[in-house]
Amino acid sequence: MKSRVILRSTALAATALVIGGSLAACSGGDSGGSGSDVDAATATSAADFGGLDGLIEAAQAEGELNVIALPEDWANYGEIIAAFEDEYGIVVNSASPDASSAEEIQAAENLKGQDTAPDVFDLGTAVALENTDKFAPYQVETWDEIPDANKEATGLWVNNYSGIMSLGYDSDKLDEPKELQDLLGDGYRGAVALNGDPTQAGAAFAAVGWISALNGGGVDDFGPGVDFVGELRQAGNFLTLDPTPATIASGETPAVFDWSFNNVAAAKDKPSWETTVLPGPAYVSFYNEAINKDAPHPAAARLWQEWIFSDEAQALFLEANAVPVRVDALKESGAVDEKLIEEATFGTDSADWISPDQAQTEAANAVLAERWANTIK
């Protein structure tokens, strides 16, 4: 279970999802040059390569793609990367899988001009919005099918996938919680953990946000969330141990607030591990895909964008219980089993989702900075 830092996991308020098509079904435009004679670093769509086939040709000529901060067991990125390599015969070099968003940007700055610099980014909102001058605009072939709320107008960043904040618990030791207040009961003594420190770890930040929303607060008001964690601590139910797959498997962390795709994955090593989303608002956090404007493999970077927003890759997110930005499109087109969507969303839809924008995130961070340390003393 990975605990990515806060700047990697804050989210855009992007909840509207629309119909989309698959990458394989998209055809290239007639304009632009062939893949061999276009300046890939300035291309803003596949049309600049004469169409998708031209982009594929140019990317295959480069032969490599550098990604960063993509753990194989995070949102199914291991499968997504392997499928990209198989589909296009392009080698993917994955660096620093547990890096933060800020560290992604730092790596791009440190390695600028070198073949090992990252070609693409996968970023939390705060870092993405602070670094748009480092991104190259690019509009994928499904551009018109991605809601405005899920993308920057020129394609500097686009939401790709999300998690839903959840509670995982050992069903051999604990009763299933039906509401937030259940966690204050004696049955949860020394059992409830967050995946990290919410002032540093994105999953923990979102956990406090979700707790706050369930406890009557808003996405910019984490006070009720901090207060509830304080109640957990006073009851002897809050566990400060940072959960990992090993602590879950061993029973050291019997109940964990974390992204749904992490909690669901934990059941592989702990068959009694169950995941639930408590009744009330569902806390959703979209990540942001972006191209490094100084990418050493600019065509491959753009092909990666096309891949990420294809039916194939979006369905692979879904298979890991991550919610792809085009989930409604997958459902309407019949590209995936609706049971997968139901499982990944825990029966929620965009009308149930809450997610902070940048200003709301900053307000929430201010509450945590002021109150968190004293709450867990």
For residue 44, the tally of other CB atoms under 10 A from its CB is: 13
For residues 18 and 203, the model is more confident at 203
Best mean pLDDT range from 136-140, 161-165, 219-223, 243-247: 136-140
Most confident region among 23-37, 126-140, 163-177, 208-222 by mean pLDDT: 163-177
Q: Examine domains 6-162+286-348 and 165-283+355-375 and report if their fold is the same.
A: yes
Candidates 255, 254, 257, 207; CA nearest to 372 is 207
Where is average pLDDT lowest: 82-96, 100-114, 218-232, 317-331? Answer: 317-331
Tokens 């930005």 identify what position?
325
Contact 140, 309 (CB under 8 A): yes
Break the chain into its structural domains and give their ranges. Answer: 6-162+286-348, 165-283+355-375
3-state secondary structure of 218: strand
Amino acid identity of residue 163, one-letter, is G
Q: Is the pLDDT of residue 13 over 70?
A: no
Residue 183 tokens read as 């966690």
Tokens of 355: 């997610």
Could you tell me whether strands 158-170 and 282-292 are parallel, antiparallel, or unpaired per DSSP bridges? antiparallel
Q: Which CATH architecture has domain 6-162+286-348?
A: 3-Layer(aba) Sandwich (3.40)
* Tokens representing residue 152 in the block: 């920057």
Q: Are 263 and 166 in contact (CB under 8 A)?
A: yes
Tell me which residue has tokens 């409604």: 328
Q: What confidence tier does 3 reach under pLDDT thresholds 50, 70, 90?
A: very low
Amino acid, res. 25: A
Does 358 score more than 80 pLDDT? Answer: no
Contact partners, residue 232, CB within 8 Å, separation at least 6? 183, 184, 192, 238
What is the second-level CATH architecture of the domain 165-283+355-375?
3-Layer(aba) Sandwich (3.40)
Q: Are 268 and 151 in contact (CB under 8 A)?
A: no
Q: What is the pTM for the complete model shown?
A: 0.77
Model pLDDT, residue 128: 86
Distance from chain centroid for Cα 247: 23
Percent of the chain with pLDDT over 70: 90
Give per-residue pLDDT as tens, 220-238.
889 999 999 999 999 999 9
